[in-house]
Structure 1
Amino acid sequence: MSFAEDTKLAAALAEAAGRIALAVRASGLVEGRSLGDAGDKAANAFLMPALRQHRPDDGILSEESEDSAERLSHDRVWIVDPVDGTREFAEGRSDWAVHVGLSIDGEARVGAVALPDLGIVLSSDPAEARATGKTGKMVVSRSRAPALAEDVAQKVGLELVGMGSAGAKAMAVVRGEADAYLHSGGQYEWDNCAPVAVAQAHGLHCSRIDGSALRYNRAEALSPDLLICRRELAEPLLGAIASAQARV
């Protein structure tokens, strides 16, 4: 399959799964945490068979499906989060997302992130335009911001802004609403595979917070930390992170 075909599929799947989740919420028949679970499961119930139909020879890793070591035998593995930010989704907020990513040989190569409440789908198509102006902002988790974020932000002169899902935060950088996204509190591969694929395609720096490469389709799906930022900020941010950690 070509890069363009995979990207088109990822975007179509993310957009459709987002519409399904919105319909679940709009029904008004489920509330609270149960609404988050229902949206997750409904979107996943669509994504899994759709991927198997369109890419039957690829592996799949989804937050909402039982994992299998079988995926480790594949070079191409779709990594999906049907509703990233279930809390925000259930609260009726807009900062949640649908992630459809494709890891090829352990790298996030293709991805689409839907922001359904905003009617937006961003993908790894490099032709998509994005804003380029500096904002002076760094997005972090609104509920569990990493402890080093305040120190790092102060060192590089950025204002911290709390936001919901990982996908929403990453896309804020892609869309030019923030200059950086820092996370150090622990994630899984489905939290950042698609966002990283999109961000990289749009020319942003993506790495672990020690500067090392992000790797996917590993036996243990934990993905502990993440930095997505404008390329010119990568060196000062990584330096500030290393300095802050050295004092701990």
Structure 2
Amino acid sequence: MTDLSAFPVTHKWPARNPEVLQLYAKTTPNGVKASIMLEETGLPYEAHLVNFETQDQLSPEFLSLNPNNKIPAILDPHGPGNKPLALFESGAILLYLADKTGQFIAPDAAQRYETIQWLMWQVGGMGPMFGQLGFFYKFAGKDYEDKRPRDRYVAEARRLLGVLNQRLASRDWIMGEAYSIADIATFPWVRGLLDFYKAGELVGMQDFPHVTRALAAFMARPAVVRGLGIPA
């Protein structure tokens, strides 16, 4: 039996089965990237809710796993060399799980790097920009009289949606016919823009039909539906 007691995070969130991967997350666009990937791969895991209302993400136990106090994070008891591996950052987790399972990333080197390219595009661009738009449109920023910050992020969100729409104009998924970690990273944020931030009209979502078509295909996947509700 694997002993995970050396990891303080397991003191706050005990592992029921320390032989399976441990997920620490919340159902945010970043959080569900990991749960969707785990559901898609079929890799056994346990999900633990990191509750923002009680500031779990700032607890010493969570900070021992991710000093950047962001979700998701994982603890894999059977990492490289069959040794436990703690990992944070959603993009790194997706890439690790793709390599671990041999799924959702092409084995061909050129296609692999192209997939990573689009993963980085989402992590470095779409996620932060959509998040800022949400702050200035739905949360505290909506009370600012000066709408220039909001409009800045609306314009950037539209630009990013245009990039994605062009990419999807002649292909089913970001990498073509093959569904990949690039899609798993990207479409939770597109969904969040529409369903959580309620910003579809603001960004003119009707101008991006290929994005909405691919989002519908993404939402039709059973593993996506399950992953969006994990952790409960």
TM-score, normalised with respect to structure 2: 0.26
Q: Specify which structure has the higher proportion of strand.
A: 1
The answer to which structure has the higher helix fraction is: 2
> TM (normalized to structure 1)?
0.25
Bigger relative contact order (CA 8 A; separation at least 6): 2
